[in-house]
Chains A and B, each alone.
Chain A
Amino acid sequence: DARVTQTPRHKVTEMGQEVTMRCQPILGHNTVFWYRQTMMQGLELLAYFRNRAPLDDSGMPKDRFSAEMPDATLATLKIQPSEPRDSAVYFCASGFGTGFAKNIQYFGAGTRLSVL
């Protein structure tokens, strides 16, 4: 049963601390997406990768957020320093797509982040 795995599931931290969220995409998928869900905004795209290369991170606050794919089985989203307004559920999704292909994204269970 292939699935996207996210760790940790829950994270509580204090303002100013570094937070790292991890995602293992489904084996064979070449696109990885990071989303943030808040009560008001629904699902916002933060960044995404194709074949490990970042294609778009325009939704991400550049000064404190960074996203990387060290290898094909791991994507990371870091926040440094964290702020209370970063509290949200962060989802990772993966899919298989080329430039113009219409593909389905498969989501992980999310990381619920609380910054105190």
Chain B
Amino acid sequence: DQQVKQNSPSLSVQEGRISILNCDYTNSMFDYFLWYKKYPAEGPTFLISISSIKDKNEDGRFTVFLNKSAKHLSLHIVPSQPGDSAVYFCASQGEYGNKLVFGAGTILRVKS
């Protein structure tokens, strides 16, 4: 039973264009959401997060949008750069105990 789903295994985008990565969740108790980026042979690194009291959080080229009614969040990267090529994981938190539930990841390739 996957509580966090990233339905697109991969995404290919041209340099300079927008990358949009999507994530859906099923547990209405989740109230904090994070995106992690992972390069090969490295651990995931924190990118950006959003609390359920907000619908948007922005940090430089990265913006996360949250639609609570649809249980959907998305990560926008504008403009995309070749260095953004990585695996992106969506994660959700809400239950007592600080646990994160991760999606399966989306491989982003930014072509120059």
Contacts and interface: CB of A to CB of B under 8 A. Distances in A.
A101 B98 contact: yes
Given A91-B44, A95-B98, A107-B43, A102 B93 contact: yes
Interface string B31-66: 110101000011111100101000000000000000
Given A45-B100, A103-B98, 18 more contacts: A31-B98, A33-B100, A35-B102, A42-B104, A43-B105, A91-B43, A91-B44, A95-B98, A99-B98, A101-B98, A102-B49, A102-B51, A102-B98, A107-B45, A108-B43, A109-B42, A109-B43, A110-B43
A43 B102 contact: yes
Looking at B43, B46, B97, B103, the one whose CB has the most chain A CB atoms below 10 A away is B43
Contact of A41 (B42, B93, B97, B104): B104
A116 interface: no
A42 B44 contact: no
B97 A99 contact: yes
Contacts of B49: 102, 104
Nearest to B36: A107
B89 interface: yes
A75 interface: no
Interface of B: 31-32, 34, 36, 41-46, 49, 51, 89, 93, 96-105
A106 B38 CA distance: 12
Q: Which 3 A-B pairs have the closest CB atoms?
A: A107-B43, A42-B104, A43-B102
Given A102-B32, A102-B51, A43 B44 contact: yes
The B contact surface, by secondary structure, is: loop
A104 B46 contact: yes
Nearest to A100: B96
Contacts of A40: 104
Interface in A20-78: 31, 33, 35, 40-45, 48, 50, 55-56
Contact of B97 (A4, A35, A43, A56): A56
Looking at A42, A56, A107, the one whose CB has the most chain B CB atoms below 10 A away is A42
Given A41-B104, A43-B89, A55 B34 contact: no
